[in-house]
A and B are shown apart, each in its own frame.
Chain A
């Protein structure tokens, strides 16, 4: 059963068409990834789901209800650009944001204590946000997002600016929320980051959906035609390869996508002739590769500030 249903939405800002004819569905108990480069229309779409913006055409429903003040209560939203009132105390701030999401004061206080404990931050309650480090205030923002126990959690670039330890902590809690039957909705342009977490994806480019569905199925549809090669020596042989596209190239590593019927073994043979090969593996293509081969290198839109 789909929790969020987006049907044929359009949104323009003046002459700029930010979102064009976008449709997708998000299922319960799964992690959904909205992927695409900067300026593809991800944030605009998310704002429309959050009823911050209203589509020019098309409809969005949450649990079958058209989006509006009621559906806002069901959603916890962590925007990409985030912040808090610097002069307010952590406890008051969470209380305020929780009450705006419909919590009673007493219930909100209980949950604030619970979550601060979970993050080992109980003694922050009376601190002003201005005194907190960046990592600390990101935790507070995360708590603010899930304080009202929303059915749907929307995270826009959740891992940006987090150190590895906090990223892991966040991942664990997100997976825990998923297991409790929440809908997790990611938006990111760093595809490799969510590749491991997402079950369903929707690829955006230039305001349109270019690919959507179950991630595993999409990958297997593309086949095991990518070669990972680690080597020692002169890498110029890579330039003479025909019918391939090379991603992630560095001095001793290359991810080679085979575009025609070339046998991967022939690539290995050429590599062995001029270098010491440490690793040779055929795998499914990465999401980045899938994205590039879907939209074509020339069609990837460049960053348009203000739309992401």
Chain B
């Protein structure tokens, strides 16, 4: 390997891309888009924040009300002791926002319930009440039918959709787990997208050199594997530049956004952010992100990118135009998508067997390991073993890709299949 020449290639690959308008615009616009997005959420919440609703429940059966209270003790108020006419008076006085009367027949038969209210009501509120009632009644019916615990557990697991709110002095530990899970999700997602995005960039680069035929002149000056390594390193540089800019921007934005949002929206904003991040609540006092985690993110991205980019480059070398890449891309895309699917499990159980094993498999590790280390500490031996296995795999995929690449870049006209790859592998 002639590193002087590789460096010349790295320089070209890096500079020609970093200087393009597309790169500059996308690098700057995405953080600006983030600002606009957060601003929009603040704005919407500021205008739309609703007051708490209190709903009086007059429950003759006396078995539904405890179930409702256990769902939301703030919203539902047990008024079974009062006559129904009192409820109406209180509603008119504005002491409650609405009321519902429940009888035993509602449990035994299919009779419609009535929600009587004054003032404003929203679709979201009504559907939330509806689902609370439906579930409370269903639970009671199941209990009466003497259904076994197991079956009930199945029902519950299927139904529950909790949206927890974080109080400012609430359970700190709980909050941070949610935050780190969200962080793990975002970091995994970033690597997932980046592998595709920058992998496609390198593949296009290879196809470009091939289709404009300059590759033969370059191959008469430098070994194909050197060109390949130069391209990979150059585009890694492009990716790191973009990440670094985004990272600095978003850290700045998040730190600035927290206080701003607290000033305007308060609780409601927190809730909506929680909804945006898929149920995970985010406290505004951002827990400190461990520098170790940031380092881990970059290391995992780089290692993962080295593994996948050589494969993407190989695919590029086997075709004449981008339209022909589909067949060869399939296995590679499958690997990344499987990693992403496994990552859903990793987010929930970062230390389960499947999480640990997948974070050691080099093709999955870039995504699953970053989620694991974001959520909780990972034993050092697992981390090192994962890095070590990835490094070995980089050597393997590079060797494999380089052999096919050096043959592929000089082949034109015929669309290569997997059989041809085997042939080229022997030839290379």
**What is the interface of chain A, defined by CB distance below 8 A to chain B?**
13-14, 47, 50-53, 69, 72, 75, 77-79, 81-88, 96-97, 99-101, 141, 144-145, 305-306
Contact = CB atoms under 8 A, between A and B. Distances in A.
B326 to A, nearest CB: 23
Given A13-B427, A50-B220, A52-B220, A99 B213 contact: no
Nearest to B227: A100
Interface of B: 2, 5, 8-9, 12, 16, 208-209, 212-214, 216-223, 410-414, 423, 427
Contacts of A85: 16, 208-209, 212, 214
Given A81-B216, A82-B217, A144-B217, A52 B410 contact: yes
Name the residue among A72, A99, A101 with the largest chain B CB count within 10 angstroms: A99
A100 B222 contact: yes
Contact of A51 (B214, B218, B220, B423): B220
A97 B413 contact: no
Question: Which 5 residue pairs across A and B have the least CB separation, nearest first?
Answer: A83-B213, A83-B212, A100-B221, A77-B220, A79-B216
Given A14-B423, A47-B410, A83 B214 contact: yes
A99 B8 CA distance: 7
B406 to A, nearest CB: 9
A78 to B, nearest CB: 8
Contacts of B5: 100
A100 B2 CA distance: 11
Name the residue among B2, B9, B217, B222 with the largest chain A CB count within 10 angstroms: B217
Contacts of A306: 411-414
Nearest to A44: B410
Contacts of B212: 83-86
5 contacts: A47-B216, A47-B410, A51-B220, A72-B220, A145-B217
Contacts of B219: 50, 52
Given A85-B208, A96-B12, A75 B412 contact: no
B220 A81 contact: no
A139 B97 CA distance: 84
B307 to A, nearest CB: 27
A177 B217 CA distance: 20
Contacts of A78: 217
B290 to A, nearest CB: 41
B84 to A, nearest CB: 78
Contacts of A51: 220
Contacts of A84: 212, 214
A69 B225 CA distance: 13
A101 to B, nearest CB: 5
B223 A69 contact: yes
A47 B216 CA distance: 9
B361 to A, nearest CB: 35
A141 B8 CA distance: 19
A96 B414 CA distance: 30
Contacts of B222: 69, 72, 100
A78 B423 CA distance: 28
A73 to B, nearest CB: 8
Contact of A87 (B16, B223, B423): B16
A72 B208 CA distance: 23
A47 B410 CA distance: 10
Contacts of B217: 77-79, 82, 97, 141, 144-145
A145 B221 CA distance: 11
Contacts of A75: 220
A78 B219 CA distance: 12
A78 B412 CA distance: 18
A7 to B, nearest CB: 21
Nearest to B219: A52
Contacts of B16: 85, 87-88
A36 B41 CA distance: 72
Nearest to A14: B423
B20 to A, nearest CB: 8
Nearest to B210: A83
